[in-house]
């Protein structure tokens, strides 16, 4: 029985990146079946599994992929249920005795291919996912949920015990009790806010969202520490007692998507504008490669789907030098050049260890025809006033 690894370590990634199969029988599979909390996308995910099964069928006939590998992949995928919401990633080369299987968190487009190298691009371009804490509250209740990479989990038990203590029970309308209720409610929101700050300071999440009724918002807001207000990305109206996880996720995800979209649009605008004014932007494969070579790139902008850039690029396996043309020896260090059918694969391998941020664009189209761009730290040949003006 194969036990799949929970994640891919940098050492494993390095080892996989050095693997080369001249015969073109290095097999790569990415498949994601279903995330339990993403019920609405369930059919989509199941068809992803079928898609891979079909792709494997055609790989069997056309590619150099070994039949034993193809058979094993089909059996592995066939036996997959939800896989705990994780994606299955397989790298295999029967001839060289390689079979590596990983269960990885994150969202991956289905992919099945055989080539001279393993397709590591999707793993290398995996974005750091933000963790959103969602706090729901009314005057009696408080709930805590965590939204990460499209999956929501409830952690209200962390507050439950304390919640019991401050629950109001009185039915009397006396002035004294009314005032007492006010004070209890305030302490309840204060308690919630203090715990939210505590969890944030312990790095349990990155951004905050509040779900409440309109009339309670001001009371909650009044108790939030400035640090919490800084990381507050949105608020939505909900009945904290009745809301289901699905309803909460839908509302929270809309806020996440809206924020991501805006951020992306700003970034693309900045990069495209920068490229046009010879400022801090590069657009198109040729310019992006040039900027990478000069160490100018801060952020590499790629399309959401993998491998759309159907241009071959050579990469020196020793120094990471990039060349558009096919070369066997590196013109800089004389190292061996490897030819990658997808430019993205070469660029991402080049970016490893160079402090370059990778961003996939989910909402915004990058300029044609290459659909690739970069935001630069500086521009080697421009003077400072020009750089500042961009």
Q: How many CB atoms lie within 10 A of CB 44?
A: 11
Which of 192, 267, 282, 330: binder of Zn ion (CB under 5 A)? 330
Please state whether the peptide bond connecting residue 246 to the residue before it is cis, i.e. omega within 30 degrees of 0. Answer: no
The CA distance from 101 to 114, in Å, is 16
Residue 274 vs residues 233, 278, 287: alpha-carbon distances, Å:
28, 6, 12
Size of the site for Zn ion (CB under 5 A): 8
Q: Residue 39 or residue 332: which is nearer to Zn ion going by CB? A: 332
Establish if 150 lies at the interface with Zn ion (CB under 5 A): no
Contacts to Zn ion from residues 255-284, by CB under 5 A: none
- Burial of residue 231 (number of CB atoms within 10 Å: 0-12, 13-18, 19+): middle
Do the beta carbons of residue 69 and residue 92 sit within 8 Å? yes
Piece of the chain touching Zn ion by CB under 5 A; list 25-33, 73-81, 322-330, 379-387: 322-330
Q: Read off the DSSP letter of residue 141.
A: -
Which of 63, 335, 341, 362: binder of Zn ion (CB under 5 A)? 335
CB of 305 to Zn ion, least distance (A): 30
Q: Residue 187 or residue 329: which is nearer to Zn ion going by CB? A: 329
CB of 315 to Zn ion, least distance (A): 9
Q: Residue 229 or residue 318: which is nearer to Zn ion going by CB? A: 318
Q: Residue 46 or residue 333: which is nearer to Zn ion going by CB? A: 333
Q: Residue 234 or residue 320: which is nearer to Zn ion going by CB? A: 320
- Nearest by Cα to 362 from 251, 248, 256: 256
Q: In what order do the strands lie in the sheet with 281-283?
A: 281-283, 373-376, 297-303, 357-361
Do the beta carbons of residue 153 and residue 131 sit within 8 Å? no
CB of 320 to Zn ion, least distance (A): 7
CA 106 to chain centre: 6
CB of 120 to Zn ion, least distance (A): 19
Q: Residue 33 or residue 343: which is nearer to Zn ion going by CB? A: 343
CB of 10 to Zn ion, least distance (A): 21
Contacts to Zn ion from residues 302-321, by CB under 5 A: 316, 318-319, 321
Piece of the chain touching Zn ion by CB under 5 A; list 36-44, 208-216, 328-336, 375-383: 328-336
Q: Is 113 helix (H, G, I), strand (E, B) or coil?
A: strand
- Tokens coding 97: 């005795």
CB of 91 to Zn ion, least distance (A): 25
Q: Residue 17 or residue 83: which is nearer to Zn ion going by CB? A: 17
Contacts by residues 139-145 (CB-CB < 8 Å, ≥ 24 positions apart): 139/168, 139/181, 139/185, 139/188, 139/216, 139/219, 140/167, 140/168, 140/188, 141/240, 141/241, 142/188, 142/191, 142/192, 142/240, 143/240, 145/245, 145/248, 145/252
Q: Residue 142 or residue 316: which is nearer to Zn ion going by CB? A: 316
Establish if 331 lies at the interface with Zn ion (CB under 5 A): no
Establish if 332 lies at the interface with Zn ion (CB under 5 A): yes
Establish if 333 lies at the interface with Zn ion (CB under 5 A): yes
CB of 354 to Zn ion, least distance (A): 14
Do the beta carbons of residue 262 and residue 254 sit within 8 Å? no
CB of 298 to Zn ion, least distance (A): 23
Contacts to Zn ion from residues 42-61, by CB under 5 A: none
CB of 80 to Zn ion, least distance (A): 40
Piece of the chain touching Zn ion by CB under 5 A; list 19-27, 79-87, 323-331, 364-372: 323-331
Instruction: Tell me the CB-side half-sphere exposure of residue 292, using CA atoms within 13 A.
Output: 34
Residue ranges binding Zn ion (CB under 5 A): 316, 318-319, 321, 330, 332-333, 335
């Amino acid at each position: 029985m194969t036990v799949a690894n929970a994640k891919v370590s940098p050492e494993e990634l390095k080892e996989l990146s050095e693997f080369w199969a001249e015969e073109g029988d290095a097999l790569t599979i990415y498949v994601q079946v279903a995330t339990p909390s993403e019920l609405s996308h369930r059919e989509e995910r199941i068809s992803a599994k079928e898609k891979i099964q079909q792709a494997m069928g055609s790989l069997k006939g056309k590619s150099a992929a070994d039949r034993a590998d193809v058979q094993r992949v089909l059996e592995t995928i066939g036996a997959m249920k939800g896989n705990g919401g994780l994606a299955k990633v397989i790298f295999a080369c029967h001839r060289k005795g390689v079979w590596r299987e990983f269960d990885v968190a994150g969202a991956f487009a289905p992919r099945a291919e055989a080539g001279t190298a393993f397709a590591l691009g999707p793993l290398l371009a995996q974005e750091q996912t933000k963790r959103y804490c969602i706090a729901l509250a009314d005057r009696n209740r408080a709930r805590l949920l965590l939204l990460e990479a499209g999956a929501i989990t409830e952690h209200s038990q962390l507050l439950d015990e304390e919640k019991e203590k401050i629950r109001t029970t009185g039915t009397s309308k006396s002035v004294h009790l009314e005032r007492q209720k006010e004070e209890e409610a305030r302490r309840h929101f204060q308690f919630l806010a203090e715990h939210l700050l505590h969890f944030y300071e312990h790095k349990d999440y990155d951004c905050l969202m509040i779900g409440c009724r309109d009339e309670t918002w001001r009371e909650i807001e009044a108790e939030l520490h400035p640090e919490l207000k800084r990381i507050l990305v949105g608020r939505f109206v909900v009945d904290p007692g009745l809301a289901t996880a699905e309803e909460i996720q839908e509302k929270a995800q809309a806020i996440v998507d809206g924020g991501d979209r805006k951020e992306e649009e700003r970034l693309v605008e900045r990069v495209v504008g920068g490229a046009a004014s010879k400022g801090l932007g590069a657009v198109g494969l040729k310019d992006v490669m040039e900027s990478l070579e000069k160490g100018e790139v801060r952020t590499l902008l790629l399309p959401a789907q993998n491998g759309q850039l159907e241009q071959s690029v050579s990469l020196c396996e020793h120094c990471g030098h990039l060349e558009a043309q096919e070369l066997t020896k590196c013109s800089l260090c004389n190292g061996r050049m490897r030819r990658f059918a997808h430019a993205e694969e070469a660029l991402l391998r080049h970016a490893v260890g160079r402090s370059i941020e990778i961003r996939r664009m989910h909402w915004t189209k990058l300029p044609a025809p290459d659909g690739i761009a970069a935001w630069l730290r500086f521009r080697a040949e421009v003077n400072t006033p020009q750089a500042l003006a961009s």
